[in-house]
Amino acid sequence: MPWLFSYGTLQQKKVQLANFGRELKGEPDLLPGYQVGEIRITDERVLRESGKAIHPILRYTGNPEDEVSGSVFELTAAELEQADDYEVSDYKRVSATLKSGRLCWIYAAAD
């Protein structure tokens, strides 16, 4: 089953329930080589589910000293597709290696 690293709204219980129908159990981890920026969300569904107009977004720096804290969740393949549907086009899903050594998916800036 795939692993997904979340540093933003996918950590919220109400977002998890709306997208996966269950609360996810995560483990804390760190993502090296990235920093967190912000974007404004205009998608009505995402605004309703997250309750926030400003969302964090990962920006790749390549600097191993840059780290982003978050949670890593084990999802089913179907749940990963549901997460793809939740994320707006400003994000792209890419693979990454966490500080723990775990290979996972992340949502980073598409630009």
For the chain, the domains span 3-109
pLDDT tens string 80-109: 999 999 999 999 999 999 999 999 999 999
pLDDT tens string 6-63: 999 999 999 999 999 999 999 999 999 999 999 999 999 999 999 999 999 999 999 9
CA angle 53, 56, 62 (to 5 degrees): 155
- What's the whole-number average pLDDT of the chain? 96
How far is 47 from 49, CA to CA, in rounded Å? 6
- Report the topology of domain 3-109: Hypothetical upf0131 protein ytfp (3.10.490)
- Is the backbone of residue 105 left (phi > 0), alpha (psi -120 to 50) or beta? beta
The tokens 């990235």 sit on which residue? 34
Q: Tell me if 88 sits within 8 A of 109, measured CB to CB.
A: no
